[in-house]
A = this chain, B = another copy of it.
Amino acid sequence: MAKQRSGTPRLEEVAALAGVGRGTVSRVINNAVGVKDSTRRAVERAITELGYVPNQAARSLAARRADAVALAMTETDWRRFGEPFFSEIVCAVSDALAGTDIQLLLTLVRTDAERRRFVEYARAGRIDGVLLMSLHGGDPLPDMLAGLRLPTVLLGRRRGDERVSYVDADNVGGARDAVGHLLARGRTAVAAITGPLDMYVARCRLRGYEEALRRAGRRSGPSWVAEGDFSEESGRRAMAGLLRRHPEIDAVFAASDTMAAGALHVLRASGRRVPEDVAVIGFDDFLLAQHTDPQLTTVRQPVTEIGRAMVRLLLEELGHASGAWRHVVLPTELVLRDSA
């Protein structure tokens, strides 16, 4: 293998040039308190002059930390990595980390083998913490990491009683707002297209829908709800079924933007005008509204804030090492397009 850094200066040479001990240089590098200002400047000058960069392996070995955290994608369909949602999360996390000297590693953890490899990687001490995106229901990874006592923050909780730190959007509130908005605009026959109900996020959004109806004094029946799987195709099927059962539908709440897009197609194909005859609101999971339809009002998730909050929680865990988990639930925002 190529030997790195042959001929690059060592900490010791910096110390010699600055006329101080090795310990002092180390303190300057690590921004430790209790270094006289003049000394610090002298050391910094020496560092610049020699173009010194501390060897990370040596730091990690001595300090027992990696100065790196992993942002792991557990999404099996790698294509979805490219969706704006993930891109924006990556950017937000990357930016939030830019101020620190912590390196961000993007990692794919899709299969069982990759899960094992990832755990080994962590056990080798190469990362100090993990951010997990796009978790599917029964993914064992969070618990494996908890077993390593490795600080972990999830994007979205897996259940109501999640025992790992997480950041989530207010799915119940967002759905409630969306449906409340439809009712306030005078819609009276509001159907719902849910996500797969074995996923917590889908159940939350359904609950928001039901709560909004109840608050308005309306009852919802199972015949007004159709289950999808977040895909556009499932949105079409769900919409077709709903129309068959209730031709009088005048509004639809969909648990994802892709399903909303599918619903829109079916509605238009059936001769309905959107939004005049039927208004549609979808959760903007993949930020695809721009690609789908300008008529589609969406429940927008605060993606950048989510990324920032994840980093904040992780840094806290890295600092305190308390082992306690905490969570952040961020409000969503209703983004009106034209008239809904």
Contacts and interface: CB of A to CB of B under 8 A. Distances in A.
A125 interface: yes
A188 interface: no
A94 B108 contact: yes
Interface string A78-96: 1101111011001100100
Contact of A63 (B1, B55, B103, B129): B1
A27 B31 CA distance: 39
Given A124-B55, A125-B55, A126-B56, A4 B78 contact: no
Contacts of A53: 120, 123-124
Interface residues of A, number: 51
Contacts of A3: 64-65, 321
Given A78-B91, A82-B81, A125 B57 contact: yes
A316 to B, nearest CB: 11
Contacts of A151: 2
What is the oligomeric copy number? 2
Given A57-B60, A94-B108, A4 B125 contact: yes
A17 interface: no
A273 interface: no
A33 interface: no
- Residue from A54, A57, A82 whose CB has the most chain B CB atoms within 10 Å: A57
Contacts of A128: 1-2, 4
A150 to B, nearest CB: 7
A56 B125 contact: yes
Interface string A117-153: 0001111111011000000000000000000011100
A56 B124 contact: yes
8 contacts: A2-B321, A4-B65, A56-B57, A56-B126, A57-B58, A57-B61, A78-B90, A82-B83
